[in-house]
Each structure stands twice: as structure tokens, then as C-alpha cells.
A and B are shown apart, each in its own frame.
Chain A
Amino acid sequence: MKYMMFVCTDTEPETDESRVPDIEVWVAGNDAAGRRVTGNVLAPPSVATTVRVRGGEVLLTDGPFAETKEVIVGFDILECADLDEAIAVAAAHPMAHHGRLELRPYADR
């Protein structure tokens, strides 16, 4: 089962700075276990370009498709047996401590 994990910032002030995992350890461990297919850190939304086609014309907008305080700063594609395993992988990510992670399963299973 594949899950897209969005790595996001969080505007809520409360964070958990105790025993924050190391990202390198997280990546290496999940790569070795075959639970992380790929993933990366993304450039900020300020350099995003939004693309639409309307009336046969390509319309470009400078910036993200929605202006929000929380932004997606990275992503990982996970390969997990089920949601419980994906939750455990997400909970061990450093951004779970001061940001938020969103797990979205692939629709085609």
C-alpha cells in the first residue's frame, strides 16, 4: 500500500522538542527497510508556479494554488503494509514534532 506523506509546517505554537529524531537516520532506516520509495525537500511556495488550461489557453499564476499559513515543505512516498505502519513511520519523522504530516493513500491501492 502506497501513501503520499505531505511534510507540512504548523502554525500552532505548541511543539515537542524532546527527543526529536534525526532526519538522516529516519531516511536511512526507512530506505533500508523498503518503506520509503522516494521523497525530497521542496523549494518554498514563493517560487511555485500554478498552471491551468482554460479556453484552450495556458494560464500561469506566480505562487501556490492556495495561500495558506501552513505550507508543504517536502514529501515522501511510503510503501507500508497498512495505516498503522504508515502512522508509525510518520510519527518517527522529525517534522511530526514541530510540524504536521498528512498521510494520503494512493487511490488505486
Chain B
Amino acid sequence: MTDVGEAVHAGWESYARIVASLIRVTGDWTLAEDCAQEAMAAALERWPRDGVPGNPGGWLRTVARNRAIDVLRRAAVEKTKLQEVAMLWDPSQPPAREIDDDRLRLIFTCCHPALSLEARVALTLRTIAGVPTADIARAFLTTEPTMTRRITRAKSKIAAARIPYRVPTGEALAERLPGVLAVLYLLFTRGYDADGEPAFASEAIRLARLLAALMPGEPEAPSLLALFLLQHSRRDARRDPAGDLVTLDRQDRSLWDRAAIAEGLEILLATPVEGPYGIQARIAACHAVAGTDWPSIAGWYDQLVRLQPSPVVALNRAVAHGYAFGSAAGLSLLAEARAGGALDNYPTAIAVEADLVGRAGDRPRAAELFRAAAAAVPSAVERRALLARAAEMGD
């Protein structure tokens, strides 16, 4: 017998398909989610007892579809709609392409710019990834009822304002794709942050993989996937046994996920650099191979800052130049990055200055700055890491 846990896990791959297709045919988001969840629950109950069916995905789709037909029939929905639902995933038809498009439609609708960014992330997690509302609420530091309201409000807006269930084409696609990628990126960082929800990083990778597979003509989609894989490859090396953060240069590289790195690098070999994620993925690739090539990283940041002239990118550029060309070069770019005032009291900027000043030889000043950064940072894990750096400077 197939391992039940594995089969149920694989069943989650079907979840988005079921939800996406039921939404397209019925237009009812809640119905689609309820039916998909009931199918998952039925699998969890029956598979351990009766064994895993030969085609677990097909089994789940059938259960979800029959449930949807039951509900719709009781609601006295017109016959044509029922027939349409009954025809879903009919094995006599080859609708594979359309099912893929359904999931893509769902992603683009959940990430529509007429919804707030936070609502987009929450809706994507809830509807496409099936993450429980309680978990989403925790990641957003809010209560479950508040998050439920926020998701419900987003769904009502989709219906009331008629946000289309469609993948945009042509110029509109180029306009909208960066927004979708930004939602996945935010999802990933929510999982990757020191105090984040680690499962979100895996969800972001799963969704980026789906997007890359569904949009082969858009280099930024596989670039984002490669970026995630390369960053995520270090997940087991980022913390020491006490749970404290370990900086990149001190990580035990034997803990890095070689398979993820290999996959990320392979994607980049086949993908042209077209936008910011292509550049960021290449920076991550430079970090993932032995003997970090800082001059190359500095060069990539020069390109990135032209595409994305944000203070945080300028800050990272200063770090790269500091390692590549010496702390004076880094400090001069740091001053440039800070000129606008947007980085005032930003703990990372203070820590970067501390590191550069320390490497330039002024250890007492570096210790002072690391302590200032620690005082400004909200995360306890990061605070401990900064205080440890400060202590090192005092030696």
C-alpha cells in the first residue's frame, strides 16, 4: 500500500485544481473551497482505513464534484449549470490545458491589484494553498476573526465589483505579472523571516513552480522560482542549535540543500535575465557556490539598483561593494543610500554600517553601532545575533 501521508500530501496538489475549476464553473468561491476541503477531509478519514485509491487526484476531484452537485441541486440551480459541473474532469475529454488555465486564472484573480496587497496574500494562501485562516492570521499578527473578515471582504469585492476570473493577455499581462510575482515574493519572505511561518516559504515555492510551468514564455516566473530555491537551500544552516541566526559566511555549508541549489542553478542556465528577479536569483546563485564572487555580486547590484532604485536595494549594493572593493567603497555607497532619509533608524542599515566600520578597523565604534541596531530591531532572534556581533567587536 502507498504511504497514506504521502498520498494525502500529494492530494494538496489537487486542491488548487479543484478550487480553481469549481470557481470557474459555479462562480461561487465559498462553495468551491468547502467542496475541496470536504474531499481532503474524506481522504484523511477513508484512505488510512480503506487504502489509498489508484488515482488519488481523480478520487479527490470526484468527491469534490459530487459534493458540489449535491449542494447546487439543493439550491435549485438550473440544469445547465449542474451539467457543466458534472462534466468537470470528465475522463472522456482531454481538458488538461484548461485545468491548468483555471489555476492560473485563480492566481491572477487572487492577486488582482484592485485588492489590497495584504488581502491578495491572504486570499492566495487561503484559496490556492488551502492554508487555514488561523495560520494566516498568526503570520499577519492578527486574530482569526479579523483575518476571516478580511478574506470574506476580498471575496465579496471580487463578486460585487466583478473582478474578472481570467489571465490577462498582451500588454495587460506584462502589467499584471509583476504584481503576482510580488505577492509570491511577500509570501516567501513571510516564511523566511526570522520570526516567520516556515510553511509559507514552501507554499511560495510550490506556487512559483506552478507559475513557472504555466507561463513558460515569461522569464521572471522561473527566475523567481530559482531565487526561492537558492535562498531556501540554506534554511537548515541559518540557525544554530539554540535557534540563533547564523550569518552566511559562518554557515555550515554541508547543511545546504544541494538538490535545491542544483535545480536553481539549472533554471538560471535556461532563463534569460529580464527583470529584477532574474538579477536577484543570480545574486543568490553567487552566494550558493563556493568562494563567493563579490565583484560579480556588486555588478549585479549595480544593475538591480537601476531597475529598482529603492533604498533597501541601494543598501544591499553598499554591502556588496564593501566586500568586493573594501569598506571605504561600501561606506561611501551607504552614505548615498541613506541620503534620502528613508533608512533612518532602519536596523539593517545601522548593522551594515557597524560591519563596514568594524572591518575598517574602528572596533569600538562598530560595537556601539551593533548595539544601536540591536536596540532598534523588533525581532528577538535578530537582536541576539546583533548583540553577539557587538560582543565580538569588544574582544
Contacts and interface: CB of A to CB of B under 8 A. Distances in A.
B172 A84 contact: yes
B82 interface: no
A107 B161 contact: no
Interface in B307-362: none
B123 to A, nearest CB: 15
B206 to A, nearest CB: 27
A87 interface: yes
Interface residues on B, range: 10 to 19
B162 A82 contact: yes
Contacts of B163: 82-84
B51 interface: no
Contacts of B172: 84
Contacts of A87: 114
B166 to A, nearest CB: 8
Contacts of A81: 164
Interface string B111-125: 010100000000000
B364 interface: no
Contact of A109 (B112, B162, B166, B168): B162
Nearest to B159: A109
A83 B112 CA distance: 10
Which of B112, B161, B168 gathers most chain A CB within 10 Å?
Answer: B161
Contacts of B162: 1, 82-83, 105, 109
Nearest to B176: A84
Interface in B108-142: 112, 114
A30 to B, nearest CB: 18
B160 interface: yes
A50 B160 CA distance: 29
A103 interface: yes
Which of A83, A103, A105, A107 gathers most chain B CB within 10 Å?
Answer: A83
B168 A103 contact: no
B168 A84 contact: yes
A81 B163 CA distance: 10
Contacts of A105: 160-162
A10 to B, nearest CB: 18
Contacts of B166: 84
Nearest to A85: B164
B161 A103 contact: yes
A109 B172 CA distance: 25
A67 to B, nearest CB: 27
Interface string A66-92: 000000000000000111100100000
Interface in B93-112: 112
Interface in B149-169: 160-164, 166, 168
A109 B163 CA distance: 13
7 contacts: A82-B163, A83-B162, A83-B164, A84-B166, A84-B172, A87-B114, A109-B162
Interface of B: 112, 114, 160-164, 166, 168, 172
